[in-house]
Amino acid sequence: MNALETPAGLFGPLFAAVQERGLFVDSKTFADARPRRAPAAILADWRTVRPAGDEELRRFVHANFDMPQAWSDPPIDQRPLAAHIEALWPLLTRVAGDPAPGSSEMWLPHSYVVPGGRFRELYYWDSYFTMLGLARSGQQQLVENMIANFGSLLDRVGHIPNGTRSYYVSRSHPPFFHLMAALSCDDSTGGRRRRLGWMVKEHDFWMAGATQLALGGETRRVVRFADGALLNRYWDDSDRPRDESWREDVALAAAAETRDAGVLWRDLRAAAESGWDFSSRWLADGHDLGSIRTTRLVPVDLNSLLFGLEQAIAAETGALGERDVAITFAARAEARAKAIADHLWHEAAGHYADFDLDRGRPSDRLTAAAAFPLFAGLAAPGRAARTAAALRQLLRPGGLMTTLCDSGQQWDAPNGWAPLQWIAITGLRRYGETELAGLIADRWVAMVEAQYITTGQLLEKYDVVTCSAGSGGEYGTETGFGWTNGVTLELLAMRDDEARKGGGCDA
């Protein structure tokens, strides 16, 4: 499955021509198209016809491919926000049929929820935050289905791809599966062992090559520091333009003449694996996307999540009587916590930060990712308090900004994102920083509610300075929207302190 062919590989020069001529405003449109017949036959006909102009090429494409359907927002209604979100779940639920030969779509055994907008498939880290809302809404069977879908991907692919398209298989996403598994209500020994097996497979994927690394060595997603500490970075196993952003990646490489194109494209892809595509966090100068250097940073969010994964494996193997494995993974979690404390803490700035491999020190940039060690529970109390104080710099009328830099990229100021609000709120509450957690939650919910009342929509991202739709990046602000729905439902429940239907294993 790792060799699953992407549209760019199947259609080669035809795919490049369609994307580089800009036949579709969104490059993802053609990457998601369904061929009407065998790819080899389509490509052979294209080579024979060789459509010269854009209109001729457009006719050829529409004669041979079915374009994906666009998302349609439901009519504006007068329902309270929580009721509106619960009514959205059926509209966002999908069942994957058998993909057409040559389609980028990947098959899944069970129903699932998509984010919305241009995001027509199952996405990895998005889904954890969506599943919080599904559980809150009494949609436990959908939660179980999505856990099983991700398990199926781990069995078939060896990891959970960024999303369920062939062009996403070369990378993953922030590893939230162990937290999804904790949402399951299947307490049978068989169910627990299945989920444990999937967690171990995910750990194997992220740590591939670690045992052969010398001091100071790097391989794919693993880095060994000079002191022997093992930590991870984001990566992508391909160094080609992204199928879903082909035109943009080719143009960027042409503009960044001094950079090796393959290195540039891998760094773009690695940022996509991080979920933060794109952010000044990854840019050498903070503003020029051509200076992206994702693979030269050891991210604090990724390593906090892997600490959580190792803890979860240790706890579950211990509960299932596998004492030796439990001891091994507990030791790995402890070693990772020490490595994070030693290498991902910026003492002068007073917050957690990514480690810059080229500069040999933590990055000076404050980002909302600094909250992840609090979320994972690995921060010392004093450091948690200092990090909370630093995070106040990101607080705005609508919640937490992603960074302090307004670069024009979507994972930067003035934008705020639902998952990062949840991570910060949960982490701050864990360490008793309830005032700041409450401020973030209240401001976020008030903004989302106000936008819903005005527009009838829930958005992928928000401008937390003006309390309006977010902007920036490669595409417009999408509506739907899975993780905003999930996080908002949870925050509404926290705010209102009222019983809500369903929402757990007793439903």
Which residues is 416 bridged to in the sheet?
462
Round to whole Å and give the CA distance between 186 and 198: 15
* Sequential DSSP letters for 114-183: --BTTB-S-BHHHHHHHHHHHHHTT-HHHHHHHHHHHHHHHHHHSS--SBSBGGGTT---S--HHHHHTT
Q: Which of 121, 243, 249, 277 is catalytic?
A: 277
* Phi, psi angle pair for 363, to nearest 5°: -65, 150
Is 227 in the active site?
no
Tokens for 6, please give them. 């992407």
Q: Which of 460, 463, 478, 490 is catalytic?
A: 460
Round to whole Å and give the CA distance between 441 and 60: 51
Is 342 in the active site?
no
Cα–Cα distance list, 478 to 82, 96, 351, 459, 493 (Å): 19, 22, 32, 6, 25
Tokens for 209, please give them. 């090559």
Round to whole Å and give the CA distance between 290 and 249: 10
**Do 100 and 107 touch, CB atoms closer than 8 A?**
no
CA atoms within 13 A on the CB side of 199: 28
Tokens for 145, please give them. 């289905």
Which residues is 112 bridged to in the sheet?
94
Which residue numbers are catalytic?
A: 277, 460
